Structure 1
Amino acid sequence: MTLFDPNARDRSGAHRHLYALYEIWYTAVDFGAALCFVVGSVLFFSASSQTAATWFFLVGSILFAAKPTIRLVRELHYLRLGKIETLARRQDPL
């Protein structure tokens, strides 16, 4: 098993379940980042709200940085799940 294997999500039902959960988180973070950038852009039209706009851009940037982190954590979770399934097969007396 390797990191970022495109077939990893189809290895088992547990892998498919993990894939779905991580995709929900990934999409929510993506949506939140986009929303922060849109709100920040609108706030920059007024000089009085530029500080708030800067904060929205910062939060949006942090959310965009979280996206590859979510993908990496998912892949590490796949690896751990694969090791557990391999161990379970070894321990199966049948």
Structure 2
Amino acid sequence: MSRSDEEDDDEDFQAESNAEEVSAAYKLFTHGAAGPITLGHLRRVAKELREDVPDEVLKDMIIEANGGVKGQEKDVGGVSLEDFESVMKRAGLSFG
């Protein structure tokens, strides 16, 4: 195996590992459910972290993550796994 092949294998492993970590992190927000991450999920996480985050800030986080896709009526919608992956990529995490 050449040096280039070894580097490719390392990058593939890292991308796979990162993808698994992103999926695991997503499930932490959703309590293991399929998703999406909702306002209620973010409230719970903020409370568990003992952070006092106003609902407006949490709503803005959801809208930023889901590209402004709203749910029914005044609902801000949710964050799908794909949206979550996109946020992680924008934060600099690489995965396949």
TM-score (ref. length: structure 1): 0.37
| More helix per residue | 1
